[in-house]
């Protein structure tokens, strides 16, 4: 059976091995590890079926014995790095624990900068996603609320972390990839933005840029965002 683009079955539901036929040369973990290695070193765009196969030392089409679609390779990658989540004994203070979870997720994303881009299509419950979710629920044992609310909390926190770190990484990547200096790019943007503001059509934007806010501390912005999300769920505040 070769790859099937028309089979939307969840990959975690299909057994890794059915018993019949030659022993597979690789495991899903091998494949995931190879893909993660490539993504870490050469970026997500370098993760093609050909490159992953080359990294493993097998033919391109052999991969389709393990994965029906490339999309599933992404699923494997996300699950693989999910194993790096450190799961501790809940402290009893759900706020502190959830903050720690969020910061850990951010660290994970900074270590694997391609991760935010693959987080949107979270739809299968991969093994490590289950472990992670169970851990979050454990941390929320001290939270007064239904499981429904707890899920909503975890979902929003994850969403905010993904969005923020995704922006953070995209900004850094853009600065890194510039063929000319960052100052040159900044000046072009400032010039354009200044011209727009100078039309007088955006008085509040103009005022905002007059406001002296000092240097932007991304870490602090992130922390504030987390606190606000938790505030929104906190029944005691």
Partner DNA sequence: AGCGCATTACGTACGCTGTACGTAACTAGG
Partner DNA sequence: CCTAGTTACGTACAGCGTACGTAATGCGCT
Tell me how far apart the alpha carbons of residues 104 and 110 are, in angstroms, rounded to a whole number. Answer: 10
The answer to whether the beta carbons of residues 46 and 39 sit under 8 Å apart is: yes
Residue 147: C-alpha distances to residues 57, 138, 144 (Å): 46, 11, 10
| Closest CB 57 distance from DNA, rounded Å | 8
Tell me how far apart the alpha carbons of residues 36 and 59 are, in angstroms, rounded to a whole number. Answer: 18
Tell me how far apart the alpha carbons of residues 217 and 144 are, in angstroms, rounded to a whole number. Answer: 33
> Does 179 interact with a second copy (rule: CB under 8 A)?
yes
| Closest CB 140 distance from a second copy, rounded Å | 8
Give, rounded to a whole angstrom, the gap between the first and last alpha carbons of the chain. Answer: 57
Containing 60, the helix (H) or strand (E) segment is: none
The residue among 53 and 112 lying less far from a second copy, judged by its C-beta, is: 112
Q: Given the rule CB under 8 A, which of 6-14, 47-55, 70-78, 92-100 is the region that contacts a second copy?
A: 6-14
Residue 168-207 contact track with DNA, rule CB under 7 A, x = bound: ----------------------------------------
Q: Given the rule CB under 8 A, which of 16-24, 54-62, 78-86, 152-160 is the region that contacts a second copy?
A: 152-160
Q: Is 132 left (phi over 0), alpha (psi -120 to 50) or beta?
A: alpha
Residue 88-117 contact track with a second copy, rule CB under 8 A, x = bound: -----------------------------x
49 binds, among DNA, a second copy, none (CB under 5 to 8 A by kind): DNA
* Touching DNA, residues 42-81 (CB under 7 A): 46-51, 58-62, 64-66, 69-71
Tell me how far apart the alpha carbons of residues 104 and 87 are, in angstroms, rounded to a whole number. Answer: 10
**Which chain residues interact with DNA by CB under 7 A?**
1-6, 17-26, 46-51, 58-62, 64-66, 69-71
């Amino acid at each position: 059976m070769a790859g099937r683009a028309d089979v939307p079955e969840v990959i975690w539901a299909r057994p890794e091995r059915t018993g019949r036929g030659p022993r597979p040369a690789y495991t899903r973990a091998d494949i995931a590890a190879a893909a993660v290695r490539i993504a870490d070193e050469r970026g997500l765009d370098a993760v093609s079926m050909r490159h992953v196969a080359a990294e493993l030392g097998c033919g391109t089409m052999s991969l389709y014995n393990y994965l029906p679609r490339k999309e599933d390779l992404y699923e494997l990658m996300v699950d693989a790095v999910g194993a790096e989540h450190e799961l501790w004994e809940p402290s009893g203070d759900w706020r502190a624990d959830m903050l720690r979870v969020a910061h850990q997720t951010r660290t994970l994303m900074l270590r694997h900068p391609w991760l935010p881009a693959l987080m949107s299509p979270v739809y299968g419950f991969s093994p490590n996603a289950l472990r992670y979710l169970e851990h979050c629920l454990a941390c929320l044992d001290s939270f007064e609320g239904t499981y429904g609310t707890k899920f909503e909390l975890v979902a929003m926190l994850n969403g905010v972390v993904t969005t923020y770190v995704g922006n953070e990484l995209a900004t850094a990547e853009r600065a890194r990839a510039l063929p000319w200096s960052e100052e040159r790019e900044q000046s072009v943007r400032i010039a354009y933005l200044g011209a727009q503001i100078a039309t007088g059509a955006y008085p509040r934007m103009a005022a905002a840029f007059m406001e002296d806010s000092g240097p932007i501390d991304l870490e602090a912005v992130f922390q504030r965002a987390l606190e606000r999300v938790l505030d929104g769920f906190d029944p005691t505040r």
